[in-house]
A = this chain, B = another copy of it.
Amino acid sequence: MNYNQFKHCGLNVTLTMLSGKWKPIILYHLFHNAEMRFTELWRIIPKVAKKVLLDHLKQMEADGLIIREEKQGFPPEVSYRVSEKGKALGPALSALETWANEYAADEVAEFKKTTVGKLRQHLS
């Protein structure tokens, strides 16, 4: 039962940082790619509005979860990658993913059908 003795303050902080319609898929891509450019992310998540993707990335950068790097020169080249702080969250994110697959398989399947289908990808 000990692992259930969480307090709610940290939980609140973490969930706030993770809340945002497209953050899970952004994190997924960044965790799996080490570095991605803005347009690359935008193309791979085609339904997200440019502005919203930018908003999410800005928040995540402000929260220290990801790092934005701008190489000057032309064409403008901006890349995003997961920070150490962000990487440290990996196991917890895995745990949430695992729980869903074990305890909410139906919802996961439904999500794949509706959302992922519309993204025309196979990201499970």
Binding site for B on A (CB under 8 A): 3-15, 17-19, 23-25, 27-28, 31-32, 63-64, 85, 87-104, 107-108, 111-112, 115-116, 123-124
Docked Cα-Cα span, A80 to B44, in Å, equals: 42
A26 to B96, CA, bound (A): 18
Cβ–Cβ contact B32 & A12, under 8 A: no
Q: What's the Cα separation between A10 and B107 when bound, in Å?
A: 8
Q: When chains A and B are docked, how far (Å) is the Cα of A98 from the Cα of B112?
A: 30
Bound CA span A38–B29, Å: 41
**Majority DSSP secondary structure for residues of A touching B:** helix
Name the B residues within 8 Å of A85 (CB-CB). 103-104
Decide: A115 and B13 in contact? CB cutoff 8 A.
Answer: no
Q: A3-B90, A3-B91, A4-B90 are contacts. A96–B9 as well, Cβ < 8 Å?
A: no
A96 to B13, CA, bound (A): 9
A14 to B124, CA, bound (A): 15
Closest A-B pairs by Cβ, 3 of them: A10-B100, A8-B28, A4-B90
Question: Least Cβ distance of A12 to chain B in Å?
Answer: 5
Taking a contact as CB atoms closer than 8 A, the residue among B31, B88, B98, B103 that contacts A103 in the complex is: B88
